[in-house]
């Protein structure tokens, strides 16, 4: 049942990615792809800072994908879907390792990962570095925390010391890549807490865990994503509902009016409670399943807290943005693992909730994203015909302030080289 659910939801995501594929760069893409317009290489794209985060692995993927495809942005949509599917596959492997095998209840794993909101998040304002790659790296880190360790050869298991060294090396590599890729740096705090709580503290891991942040902040400038940012927020009572609504969005909740406030409280209680329980069970070096649950739940808590602090000034209406939903996925996985480990009698209830939220979100009309795709197509036709950004901006706003990003120059660059819409 778990693998069947995985196959079904993977097929749906690929279909949506193909149906809603973009044909031209949109919104922030005109900014973070700037190195490509200037002849920059993969290294510059990796280190590129976009708001408070760097592009990392996502930027490097753009440095390979776009030059090889003639700036085919439709391929980006398919790549994003493939990364999400790979994340779901890794999550199933995590479940198999920590529980000794897959059962029908593990259909909850693809229901947590391959949600309808993923399509909205990746196909409207796509940035591989924002969430597709970081969430994959977070789940990969969880996999490295499980009991099953790499083997030196199919016939001969690696010695315990070698196994631990391989695992630590893998975690350090993933930590480095995640720290530099989008909001993947939310992995840093729970991972370092696990290292500190472990009775077998690895001096190399703890030393390297200091080096990675130091490298990240070299030539870093603090750039709030919004102009209204201030800390503390002048209305601090708005933090709690924003935080709760962000966590509740994957359950289909988009506001706190009326009875929906109860759903927000319930979703927040589930995810925060999971993080607290997993933390307590991880003290002193807990079982792998609880270390995994804490790592996953912790990343979601850190992301939700940072986003609340950084975005609350925009108003409560921005909390349920689909682009934040992928970072709640690790917390959902942690909640499932905690329920399966601690309260298996509640598994039917949890599975019903996950199916219900997917029916509420995944089967709804794709009106908003289809409108955005239609607008992109109209802008593409206009820019190919006229080549004038100012005129085509009246057809569809492909970027909020074209002069700020020198959009006309970038369009002319694409036209001269017969790339993207001009192929």
Q: pTM of the full predicted structure? A: 0.92
- pLDDT per residue over 260-278, tens digit each? 889 899 999 999 999 999 9
Give the confidence band of 52 by pLDDT, cuts at 50, 70, 90: confident
Residue 360 and residue 379 in one domain: no
Kindly state the DSSP code that residue 54 receives in the 8-state scheme. E
Whole-angstrom CA distances from 268 to 46, 297, 341 are: 34, 12, 20
Q: Are residues 258 and 190 in the same domain?
A: yes
Question: What percentage of residues in the chain have a pLDDT greater than 90?
Answer: 51
Please indicate, yes or no, whether residues 341 and 400 belong to a single structural domain of this protein.
no
Give yes or no: residues 377 and 360 share one domain: no
Asked whether residue 79 carries a pLDDT value surpassing 70, the answer given is yes
Average pLDDT rounded to a whole number, residues 5-23: 85
Range name among 145-149, 220-224, 344-348, 381-385 with the lowest pLDDT average: 145-149
Output the CA angle 346-350-356, nearest 5 degrees. 145
Mean pLDDT, the chain, rounded, equals 87
397 and 303 share one domain: no
Same domain, 387 and 285: no
Give the range of the structural domain holding residue 66, as residue numbers without chain letter.
2-364
pLDDT at 159: 52
Whether residues 375 and 328 share a domain: the answer is no
Q: Are the beta carbons of 132 and 176 closer than 8 angstroms?
A: no
Are 188 and 326 part of one and the same domain?
A: yes
pLDDT tops 60 at residue 158: no
pLDDT at 161: 63
Shared domain for 391 and 335, answered yes or no, is no
Contact between residue 146 and residue 292 where contact means Cβ atoms under 8 Å apart = yes
Examine the domain organization and report whether 64 and 147 are in the same domain.
yes
For 188, how many CA atoms within 13 A lie in the half-sphere containing its CB?
A: 19
374 and 280 inside one domain: no
CA-only gyration radius of the chain, Å: 22
What average pLDDT does range 248-260 have in this prediction? 83
Distance CA 281, CA 342 (A): 11
Domain end call among 349, 364, 379:
364
Domain end point (choices 364, 390, 409):
364
C-alpha closest to that of 192 among 172, 173, 177: 172
Domain end, chosen from 330, 348, 364, is at: 364
At 287, is the pLDDT very low, low, confident or very high (cuts 50, 70, 90)? confident
Q: What are 363-397's pLDDT values in tens digits? A: 565 666 778 888 888 999 999 999 999 999 999 99
How large is the average pLDDT for residues 247-260? 84
Q: What is the mean pLDDT of residues 241-249?
A: 93
State yes or no: pLDDT of 362 exceeds 50. Answer: yes
Per-residue pLDDT of 229-239, as tens digits, reads 898 899 999 99
Residues 349 and 416 in one domain: no
Q: What is the largest CA-CA distance in the chain?
A: 67
> Tokens standing for 11?
């097929």
For the chain, the domain total comes to: 2
């Amino acid at each position: 049942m778990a693998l069947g659910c995985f196959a079904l939801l993977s097929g749906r995501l690929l279909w949506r990615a193909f149906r809603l594929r973009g044909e031209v760069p949109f919104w922030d893409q005109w900014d973070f792809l700037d190195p490509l317009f200037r002849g920059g290489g993969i290294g510059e794209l990796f280190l590129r800072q976009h708001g408070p985060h760097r592009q990392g692995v996502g930027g490097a993927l753009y440095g390979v994908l776009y030059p090889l495809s003639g700036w085919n942005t439709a391929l980006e949509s398919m790549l994003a879907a493939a990364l999400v599917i790979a994340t779901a596959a890794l999550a199933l492997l995590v479940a198999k390792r920590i529980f000794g095998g897959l059962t029908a209840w593990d259909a909850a794993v693809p229901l947590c990962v391959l949600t309808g909101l993923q399509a909205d998040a990746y196909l409207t304002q796509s940035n591989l570095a924002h969430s597709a790659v970081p969430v994959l790296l977070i789940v990969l880190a969880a996999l490295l925390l499980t009991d099953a360790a790499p083997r030196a050869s199919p016939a001969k298991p690696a010695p315990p010391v070698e196994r631990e060294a391989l695992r630590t090396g893998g975690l350090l590599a993933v930590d480095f890549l995640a720290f530099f890729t989008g909001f993947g740096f939310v992995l840093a705090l729970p991972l370092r807490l696990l290292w500190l709580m472990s009775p077998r503290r690895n001096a190399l891991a703890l030393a390297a865990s200091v080096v990675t942040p130091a490298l990240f902040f070299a030539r870093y400038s603090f750039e709030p994503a919004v102009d209204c940012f201030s800390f503390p927020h002048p209305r601090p009572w708005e933090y709690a509902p924003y935080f709760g609504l962000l966590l509740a969005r994957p359950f289909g909740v988009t506001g706190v009016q009326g009875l929906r406030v109860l759903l927000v409280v319930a979703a927040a209680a589930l995810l925060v409670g999971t993080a607290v329980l997993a933390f307590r069970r991880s003290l002193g070096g807990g079982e792998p399943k609880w270390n995994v649950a804490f790592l996953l739940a912790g990343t979601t808590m850190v992301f939700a807290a940072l986003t609340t602090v950084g975005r609350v000034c925009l108003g409560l209406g921005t909390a349920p943005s689909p682009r934040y939903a992928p970072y709640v996925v690790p917390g959902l996985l942690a909640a499932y693992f905690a329920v399966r480990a601690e309260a298996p009698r509640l598994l039917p209830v949890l599975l019903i909730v996950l199916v219900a939220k997917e029916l509420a979100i995944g089967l709804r009309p794709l009106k908003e994203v289809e409108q955005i795709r239609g607008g992109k197509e109209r802008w593409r036709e206009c820019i190919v015909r006229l080549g004038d950004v100012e005129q085509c901006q009246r057809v569809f706003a492909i970027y909020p302030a074209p002069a700020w990003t020198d959009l006309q120059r970038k369009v002319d660059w694409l036209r001269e080289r017969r790339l993207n819409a001009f192929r």
